[in-house]
Amino acid sequence: MVVGGELFLLTGFMRNRAYGTLLVGIGGLPQASLEEALDWVLDSYDEVFRPQPPLGDGASGMLAECLPEGLPLAAHPGFGVKLDRLADDQTLAGFFDLEALDDLPVLAAQRRFLAALGDRGEGRGLKDQFAGPITILQSLRDSWSRPLWAFPEHHGLLARWCGEIGRRLAQGLKAGTDRAVVILDEPVLGLPGPREHGDEIVAILEPVLEGIRASGARAGLHCCSAPPLDLLRRLPIDELSLDAQRFGSELETGAPILADYLRGGGRLRLGIVAPFPTGADHDPLPLLRRIERSSGLRPEELVDRLALSPSCGTMLCPLDREAEIVSALRQARTRIDGWLEESR
């Protein structure tokens, strides 16, 4: 993977920890208000991230935040988001107008988040996450239920749209911290279809990620489908968020690729706890040991490039499940700390 930019200095980035594994969140949380969710983030996680509530009719969370006002959507779209009439490229371009971005829900939500946060996140680092162009292209369908991904003429339009969103989110975070992270939410990259078009995906995502970097933030990508590591290694990703709960064996097989990524300065965010109970959380230690053997990194170097998270947002979970998730993440970090002590 192509990784650049400065590594974070961890001193002061985590509460009461001079080194070690960060506990981070995805975005969606079950709390009813921004203030309640933000208090929970500050008390429970090392990195401060913007909570993302449900939005819209059939287009909740990150996807709805990134859609322009007035887009003609069907009332009951089923999976994803459906236009109520066929929209050609010219029609879509009228809605995805970069000059009309100021009032986009995702940017307005970040302004509210930063205002509510004030200076409480000082020294902690800030993260925001938004729907990436591949996911929007796959989720937004025309009136005949064809995903916009099937129409290459729309690819550049959504790449420019998401590129400008990413740039503005990075600039917003940079006003409050020198340790900003902006992550593209791209859950569909590992699904059949997109992953078979690697050149097109790189052409769409690379300028979006580079634009985030150019705005002073670390550029990340979240993929909670089967991780297409051969594809992801071609992209300029500083923060790679993957679902280890479901795809731990695939990550272990890809340990040499992940080792190269970490040696290059990237951070690996492992989703080890599912939003809803599955019977067992993922134990990250076998993967860490395998990466250690492949990378030549000392255990403490490896751990300082690691973060633990839920495997996906917890928006639909009850509050007590979110509390269980945080407890499980802390227990996993304690086990990793024990591994560090044993390795010394």
Q: Which tens digit of pLDDT belongs to each residue from 112-129?
A: 999 999 988 877 889 999
Q: Which residue has the tokens 């975005």?
A: 27
Instruction: Report the pLDDT value the prediction gives residue 54, as an integer from 0 to 100.
Output: 63
Q: Which residues contact 298 (CB under 8 A, 6 or more apart)?
A: 343
Beta strand 306-310 with 22-23: parallel, antiparallel or unpaired? Answer: parallel
pLDDT of residue 89: 58
The residues, any chain, with a CB within 8 Å of residue 54's CB and separated by 6 or more, are 28, 60, 61, 315
**Cβ proximity of 184 and 209 under 8 Å:** yes
Find all residues with CB under 8 Å of 9, minimum gap 6, and list them: none
- Asked if residues 272 and 251 have their Cβ atoms less than 8 Å apart, the reply is no
Mean pLDDT by 10 residues, the chain (344 residues): 46 41 92 92 95 62 85 69 67 87 92 93 89 93 84 92 98 88 94 82 97 97 94 96 94 94 94 90 91 89 94 91 96 94 86
**Single pTM value for the model:** 0.91
- Write down the pLDDT at residue 146: 84
CA distance 267 to 90: 40
The span from the CA of 224 to the CA of 257, in Å, is 18
Structure confidence by residue, pLDDT tens digits, 47-82:
999 998 765 544 556 888 999 988 887 776 555 677
Tokens of 90: 């010219």
What is the secondary structure of 109-133 as a DSSP string? Answer: HHHHHHHHHTTTTTTT-EEEEEE-H
The pairs formed by 108-116 with CB atoms below 8 angstroms and a separation of 24 or more are: 109/50, 109/52, 109/65, 110/50, 110/169, 110/172, 110/173, 111/172, 112/34, 113/34, 113/38, 113/50, 113/51, 114/172, 114/173, 114/175, 114/176, 116/34, 116/35, 116/38
Query: What is the rounded distance in angstroms from the CA atom of residue 171 to the CA atom of residue 173?
Result: 6
Q: What is the pLDDT of residue 72?
A: 81
Q: What is the pLDDT of residue 48?
A: 95
| Count of C-beta atoms within a 10 Å radius of residue 335 | 12
**273-318: per-residue pLDDT in tens?**
999 988 888 899 999 999 999 888 889 999 999 999 999 999 889 9
In the beta sheet, which residues pair with residue 219? 182
User: What is the structure's pLDDT at 280?
Assistant: 81
Instruction: State both tokens at 341.
Output: 């002590």
Contacts 24+ apart (CB under 8 A), 94-98: 95/68, 95/70, 95/71, 96/68, 96/157, 96/158, 96/160, 96/161, 97/68, 98/160, 98/161, 98/164
Residue 180 amino acid letter: A
Residue whose structure tokens are 């947002």: 313
Instruction: Give the per-residue pLDDT at 58.
Output: 46
| Token duo for residue 181 | 């992270």
CA distance 246 to 244: 6
Rounded CA-CA distance 268/271 in Å is 10
